[in-house]
Structure 1
Amino acid sequence: MATEFSEFDVVKFEGPDSTKALAYQFYNAEKIVMGRPLKDHLRFAVAYWHSLAMTGGDPFGGPTIHRNWMSTGDPISQAKMKADAAFELFRVLDVPFFCFHDADMAPAGATLAETLKNFHAMADYLGDKMQTSKTKLLWGTANLFSAPRFMAGASTNPDPEVFAWSAATVKHCMDVTKQLGGQNYVLWGGREGYETLLNTDMKQELDHMGRFLSLVVEYKHKIGFDGQILIEPKPKEPTSHQYDFDTATVYGFLKRYGLENEVRVNLEANHATLAGHSFEHEIATAGALGILGSLDINRGDALLGWDTDQFPNDLWTMTMSMYHVIKAGGLGKGGCNFDAKVRRQSFTPEDMIHAHVGGMDLCARAFLTAAELIDDGNYDALLAERYAGWQRPEAKAMLKSMTLEEISARAEKDEIDPQPRSGKQEQIENLLMRSIYSAKL
């Protein structure tokens, strides 16, 4: 069936000298980097929600984006038209993965049973589409935040019936994720938090959230799902405070409920900045704690300060993010999902293609530059020099065997007198600036 994307040719790699707007300059999927094809490092995915469900509406104005599947036929017919368009978009971008929310894939019914029936019908339809497509499922998730029943949370809701509804929804979403060959399952607690402590029992809500996640992990093993379970941190918006504030907070939560070896994080750039961090900080933190799972690629608007979900365009930030991805051992079963949307004034199908092409090219160039940074070794050498003192035997002993008294005695005996040493920040910034913007790719 012809869709709004059917008229477009597949976007191909043409190299840095190409002047063609719909061509990849840096994303050469088959290029071998650090022993593997670039596509296997980045594992790009299109988000089914923003890309196929957004209308361009905002708090001050109605929809500006009108797609055929939004206005033609009954809800299931519209969902099938959306799926047809989605796989045409995947074809044009030549992207290996996509991600879904249940609510964006299938329409809600009048009851839970009807909603689940619609969901499974659309899962079968997507499964048929995938049989003739190169694009596979990176991860699935449940929308447990949009419907009014979730206004006080899902697993943390004071109403146990909402907990039960949410458990049923997640159970079926996990089933469909496994059915479609998904490699991860994501939980994002969009309203797992509070507006005010005046009506909140925080300990009870955290215990409920911990129980819910434990049930998810148990079910993963019961059905033989070999993918990763991921939590996506976000500090605020829509709630004033969310329990999955950032990577460090999530890790503390996982440790509290004994899940640190079962669950990893899906990190979003815009969520990092809302938490007062950088994207690379969150990635480096997850890498240091051993819980890096996958990435949602986007950016915010520093002038607005909320979750604008724009496509990325900052080479420096993305390069340093990719550097920390490589240092953490890569994304494994995760990938780079474009949880991003075109702007309100960008309403044509071509605008959506341009947005993804630019984002994929930026990430590819950033990864190639980060790999080059690691390969030439100059940056890592400066870092190693700063911590070189810890390679001395007496320094290693302080971290392994010496007691506080022994360390104190040694410091007094040797009359140590540490002197300030330069952190060489400006030198490092200059090195990175020259490397990033003049990389020979």
Structure 2
Amino acid sequence: MSQSIFSAFPTVKYEGEESQSELAYRYYDADKVVLGKPLSEHLRFAVAYWHSLAMNGSDPFGGPTLQRPWMLDGDAMRAARSKADAAFDLFRILDLPFFTFHDRDVAPEGDSLKDSLKNLQMMGDYLAEKMSTHKTKLLWGTANLFSHPRFMAGAATNPDPEVFAWSATTAKHCMDLTKRLGGANYVLWGGREGYETLLNTNMAQELDQLGRFLTLVVDYKHKIGFEGQILIEPKPKEPTAHQYDFDVATVFGLLKRFDLQDKVKVNIEANHALLAGHSFEHEIATAAALGLLGSLDMNRGDPLLGWDTDQFPNDFRAITMAMYHVIQAGGLGKGGLNFDAKVRRQSFEPEDMIHAHVGAVDLCARAFLVAAKIVEDGRYAQMLKERYSGWQTAQAQSMFKGELTLDEIASATEASEINPKPRSGKQEQLENFLGRMIL
């Protein structure tokens, strides 16, 4: 077997905060026990196959800049195997527990659906062989139902029922492969499940189609005994003008409509939160409050650019608060932290890919350690608890639990002649407290 572009690099090790090595973990000590579990179990890091192995550095204004050997090979299946060899070399170097993939990342499109599924089956065999000699496991699989021109008007929401059937068939086989490889989750990312203009859109029809598609996937999960989670990844726009999985709250409404709220969770991406006009922290807190928190895509957007830049995370405060809400929600369970991020067009050397992941891993690990410190300290939680302490009185609990009618609340309030006074939200005090904990 030929050497991959990553073969010469040693495995990244934890060397502690004093390390001077650029390719060492300073904060990610996988075995360090925090809040009763090793960091590796809390964070469950994953390398994204598509951004790390399939992206070529192109953007809407420029062509490819990452000339990987498998991208230049005219034999599509041989190139896919070469890419897989490089992938598992990269997984070995980073020493992270999981990876993630779309079907088109690992297997080329064929001349027909039958050929595409055959390619996926063959590459599934190859991935299973690679996994048998490596310790990296599968966090989740998914289907690419957005790149090919057949999906230009969506997959599940396409006005053409043949596209719906093609997409459903593809999702079935991708879930089969995910189960076969021991995946902990299966992700549904709409990509183009939305509209570019309402002039040619029957929204009621498309929403019903989307609900039918989701129900089919959930039913099939139970039929084959797949024990992983089904996840939806919210995104508000781009490439469409509007997508039906706009944000976590919108997804919750969609799931409630089709009675799937207890069967599907969300995979939240930081950059998508920004595009929806939210913070990553907001989307995680919303998912936790609604019982939907499943997994996270770790990246960032550039607020100066209006599109999905998928950069590696570097905002320490933002990730610290994201980790705090993950801890408060009880953790990610079968989910994890997937680096759905790509190096910049100018970062075309293989070593750049390693630097990007090492820095992101350390940032997330350090943020988690600080978040755990905030939890263990307890003062922040106590301040929050005190703000809502009035709700613990018998009268307030009666209102909260629905034991009083509106008339009864009004009568009691009028009789008491209460006159509520404003109370400080103590925002600046809290910001200072969290700033000191982070520093």
TM-score, reference length from structure 2:
0.99
2:57 match: secondary structure: coil
Alignment match, 1:423:
425
> In the TM superposition, what are the counterparts of 1:321-332 in structure 2 within 5 Å?
321-332=322-333
Q: Distance in 1 between matches of 2:238 and 2:74?
A: 34
The CA deviation string for residues 87-137 of structure 1, in whole angstroms up to 9 with x for no partner, is: 000000001000000011100010000000001100110000000111000
> In the TM superposition, what are the counterparts of 1:107-186 in structure 2 within 5 Å?
107-186=108-187
2:218 match: secondary structure: helix
Q: Distance in 1 between matches of 2:55 and 2:108?
A: 15
Amino acid aligned to 1:386:
R
Amino acid aligned to 2:388:
Y
Alignment match, 1:391:
392
Task: State the shift of 1:69 in Å.
Answer: 1.2
Task: State the shift of 1:73 in Å.
Answer: 4.7
> In the TM superposition, what are the counterparts of 1:74-93 in structure 2 within 5 Å?
74-93=75-94
Q: Distance in 2 between matches of 1:37 and 1:163?
A: 43
Q: Distance in 2 between matches of 1:162 and 1:338?
A: 30
Alignment match, 2:197:
196
Q: Distance in 1 between matches of 2:398 and 2:330?
A: 28
Task: State the shift of 1:194 in Å.
Answer: 0.2
More divergent stretch after superposition (275-284 vs 406-415): 406-415
Alignment match, 1:357:
358
More divergent stretch after superposition (395-404 vs 267-276): 395-404
Task: State the shift of 1:402 in Å.
Answer: 1.4
Alignment match, 2:437:
435
Q: Distance in 2 between matches of 1:35 and 1:55?
A: 41
Q: Distance in 1 between matches of 2:59 and 2:323?
A: 32
Task: State the shift of 1:385 in Å.
Answer: 1.2
Q: Distance in 2 between matches of 1:137 and 1:76?
A: 21
Alignment match, 1:21:
22
Structure 1 unaligned segments of length 5 or more: list them.
none
The CA deviation string for residues 355-394 of structure 1, in whole angstroms up to 9 with x for no partner, is: 0000100000111110100100111111011111111111
Task: State the shift of 1:305 in Å.
Answer: 2.0
Alignment match, 1:70:
71
Alignment match, 2:408:
406
Q: Distance in 2 between matches of 1:295 and 1:220?
A: 21
1:229 match: secondary structure: strand
Q: Distance in 1 between matches of 2:377 and 2:396?
A: 28
Amino acid aligned to 1:238:
P
Alignment match, 2:379:
378
Q: Distance in 2 between matches of 1:41 and 1:342?
A: 25
Are residues 1:47 and 2:48 paired?
A: yes
The CA deviation string for residues 180-223 of structure 1, in whole angstroms up to 9 with x for no partner, is: 00010000000000001011000000000000100000000000
The CA deviation string for residues 224-279 of structure 1, in whole angstroms up to 9 with x for no partner, is: 00000000000000000000000000000000000001000000000000000000
1:98 match: secondary structure: strand
Alignment match, 1:368:
369
Are residues 1:277 and 2:278 paired?
A: yes
Task: State the shift of 1:79 in Å.
Answer: 0.2
Task: State the shift of 1:72 in Å.
Answer: 2.6
Amino acid aligned to 2:264:
V
2:418 match: secondary structure: coil
Q: Distance in 2 between matches of 1:102 and 1:121?
A: 12
Q: Distance in 2 between matches of 1:410 and 1:367?
A: 46
Q: Distance in 2 between matches of 1:416 and 1:436?
A: 41
More divergent stretch after superposition (427-436 vs 397-406): 397-406
Task: State the shift of 1:322 in Å.
Answer: 0.4
Alignment match, 1:236:
237
Amino acid aligned to 1:280:
E
Are residues 1:225 and 2:211 paired?
A: no
The CA deviation string for residues 255-308 of structure 1, in whole angstroms up to 9 with x for no partner, is: 000000100000000000000000010000000000100000000001112100
Amino acid aligned to 1:58:
D
TM-score, reference length from structure 1:
0.98
Structure 2 unaligned segments of length 5 or more: list them.
none
2:295 match: secondary structure: strand
Amino acid aligned to 2:39:
L
The CA deviation string for residues 42-87 of structure 1, in whole angstroms up to 9 with x for no partner, is: 0000000010011111122211111111113510000000000000
Alignment match, 1:311:
312
Q: Distance in 2 between matches of 1:275 and 1:16?
A: 36
Alignment match, 1:289:
290
Q: Distance in 1 between matches of 2:29 and 2:431?
A: 28
Q: RMSD of the alignment, in Å? A: 0.6
Q: Distance in 2 between matches of 1:211 and 1:53?
A: 31
Q: Distance in 2 between matches of 1:315 and 1:97?
A: 23
Identity %: 71
Are residues 1:267 and 2:279 paired?
A: no
Are residues 1:246 and 2:232 paired?
A: no
